[in-house]
Amino acid sequence: MSYKRWVFIAIFLFGIGLVFGLATPFSSVNLMSEEIIALEELVTFLSSLPPALLALFIFIKNVSALLISFVFSPIFCLAPILALVVNGWLISFVSALVIEEKSLGFVLAGLLPHGIFEIPALILGQAAALSFGSLAVLALFKRERRSQLLPGLRRNLRYLMIAFALLLPAAIIETYITPLLIT
């Protein structure tokens, strides 16, 4: 299957997550109150970091997430599927909550500047993980596919590197520009 099809599959899975996030009732927030408190503590700690260190932290966290998903993708593509659906769910669920508290403009100001780099990076990186993972699974069960594994790995690593490159401006924008727009 071509990489372009994997990109469309990744977009579809991310879209499913977005729909699930919008369909999740707000009453479930009470069930997650401990997680929200822990997240607030993490945000407080991260906001105390110098901006350059914060940008580096965001970049390394995002690269690590993509890399882990890629490495574990041969386990029936579960990691990239979960990453796409959960990220879509989280974005739409939290956005809906913030719109209730603030406004749509606030959400857009908080997401769009770095999201124009970060979301395509997520899609491209997870599409590479899906492509490689499916190739690895097929190579496990079909002997004739094994010769395609190394070239497929190289091709997908190039796409993964493009995703990593997109994460750098996303981290810088998220650190330096987004806070200016939402204050």
**Long-range contacts from 8-14, C-beta under 8 angstroms, 24+ separation:** 9/127, 9/130, 10/80, 10/84, 10/123, 10/124, 10/126, 10/127, 10/130, 11/123, 13/81, 13/84, 13/85, 13/88, 13/126, 14/84, 14/85, 14/87, 14/88, 14/119, 14/122, 14/123, 14/126
Per-residue pLDDT of the chain (183 residues; tens, 9 = 90+): 799 999 999 999 999 999 999 998 876 666 566 777 787 888 888 888 999 999 999 999 999 999 999 999 999 899 999 999 999 999 999 999 999 999 999 999 999 999 999 999 999 999 999 999 999 999 999 988 899 999 999 999 999 999 999 999 999 999 999 999 997
Please tell me the distance from the alpha carbon of residue 157 to that of residue 125, in angstroms, as a whole number. Answer: 9
The single residue listed with the structure tokens 């906001």 is 47
* 156: containing domain: 3-22+59-182
pLDDT for 34 equals: 74
Number of CB atoms found within 10 A of residue 12's CB: 11
Torsion of CA 154, 155, 160, 163, to 10 degrees: 150
Number of domain units in the chain: 1
Query: Does residue 116 lie within any of the structural domains?
Result: yes
Query: Does residue 84 lie within any of the structural domains?
Result: yes
Q: Are 131 and 71 in contact (CB under 8 A)?
A: no
Query: Does residue 47 lie within any of the structural domains?
Result: no
Burial of 162 (0-12, 13-18, 19+ CB in 10 A): middle
pLDDT for 28 equals: 63
Query: Does residue 98 lie within any of the structural domains?
Result: yes
Please tell me the distance from the alpha carbon of residue 92 to that of residue 71, in angstroms, as a whole number. Answer: 27
Query: Does residue 101 lie within any of the structural domains?
Result: yes
Both tokens assigned to 17: 């997550």
pTM of the full structure: 0.91
Q: Is 48 helix (H, G, I), strand (E, B) or coil?
A: coil
Query: Does residue 167 lie within any of the structural domains?
Result: yes
Query: Does residue 34 lie within any of the structural domains?
Result: no
Query: Does residue 73 lie within any of the structural domains?
Result: yes
Nearest CA among 56, 64, 63 for reference residue 172: 56
